[in-house]
Amino acid sequence: MHTAQLQGFFNIPVDHLYASYVFTRHFKKLRDLDLVVVSPDFGGLNTARSYAQNFGAGLAVIDKRRGGHNKAEVMNVIGEVKGKHVLIVDDIVDTAGTIVNTCRKLKELGSGPIHVACTHAILSGNAVENIGTPGLIEEFVVTDSIPLHQKALDSGLVTVISTAEIFGEAILRIHAGESLSVLFR
């Protein structure tokens, strides 16, 4: 599900599975670095906080304003990013405009390499070109929750990680009547 609140729209019990299960494994190499986890907006702050706690990292959030559909302007960065490795955690990336603007602002403030984790990568329009802006994004990692355009796959800019393990583990645990809480740590 895109948000945990969707659980309220079902007449049967459902569990929200989090991409952090696969992302924290992928980004374990960042654990020993001077890392800050960045939320690209206030809506993702709880998710970013969870990653920051998991990695023992700092936390920052982007204060942005939307000037229209797919138009976002980064106003402020709340948190310390200078000289730090950055992990931006986002739920959906469509045109990658917000991500690129966020990366530009972080670089202006003296951040180190920037890694991006995106659960649902729509990557429409010029998103692939935006992600490929030289010197901005070290690594752009997405789940396979939705199919990517061939252009994104062929670009060499996007790393896709599978969600099969978390879904398989959830199915096995539900079938065996076991708790799913281990998947949320």
Active site residue 28: no
Please say whether the beta carbons of 21 and 29 come within 8 A: no
Instruction: Report the alpha-carbon distance of residue 41 to residue 44 in Å, rounded.
Output: 6
Sheet of strand 139-143, all strands in order from the earlier edge strand to the far edge: 71-78, 58-68, 35-39, 85-93, 114-121, 139-143, 158-161
Determine which one of 28, 29, 64, 107 is catalytic: 64
Cα–Cα distances in Å, from 28 out to 56, 101, 144? Answer: 11, 26, 19
Token pair in block for residue 117:
């984790």
Residues identified as active-site: 64
